Amino acid sequence: EPEVTQTPSHQVTQMGQEVILRCVPISNHLYFYWYRQILGQKVEFLVSFYNNEISEKSEIFDDQFSVERPDGSNFTLKIRSTKLEDSAMYFCASSGDREIYGYTFGSGTRLTVV
């Protein structure tokens, strides 16, 4: 069964550093998303991406964050100048016909900012 692949599974970074979280969505999907889950809290929407541009973003997704689809397969989330409160599990998701099949999530990247 097709999967959404995320790398790395765990990343530790120093406060103030930049990190890039990587995702390979399912190949024939057109819609891409990033969500995050702070430990013990609910899953929160960050951004959606369609047709090579951001289609929607949340209040969390400020200038510190950016997304990119650098080629036909990868989808990245860049977090600049990381803060302690950015520590969370970050999930990438993709969907084809989301009205029928919902979303396929990756296994997540656990980001720890120290």
Site for another protein in 10-49 (CB under 8 A): 31, 33, 35, 42-45, 48
Told to check if 5 binds another protein by CB under 8 A, we report no
Told to check if 60 binds another protein by CB under 8 A, we report no
Amino acid at residue number 70:
P
Q: Which is nearer to another protein, 48 or 82 (CB)?
A: 48
Of 3, 33, 6, the residue nearest 19 (C-alpha): 6
- Rule CB under 8 A: choose which of 58, 64, 74, 76 binds another protein: 58
| The two three-digit tokens of residue 16, written as one number | 């103030």
List % helix, strand, coil for the chain (3-state, nearest 5): 5, 50, 45
Told to check if 112 binds another protein by CB under 8 A, we report no
Of 46, 9, 44, 51, the residue nearest 29 (C-alpha): 51
Amino acid at residue number 91:
F
Binding site for another protein (CB under 8 A): 31, 33, 35, 42-45, 48, 50, 55-56, 58, 89, 91, 93, 98-108, 110
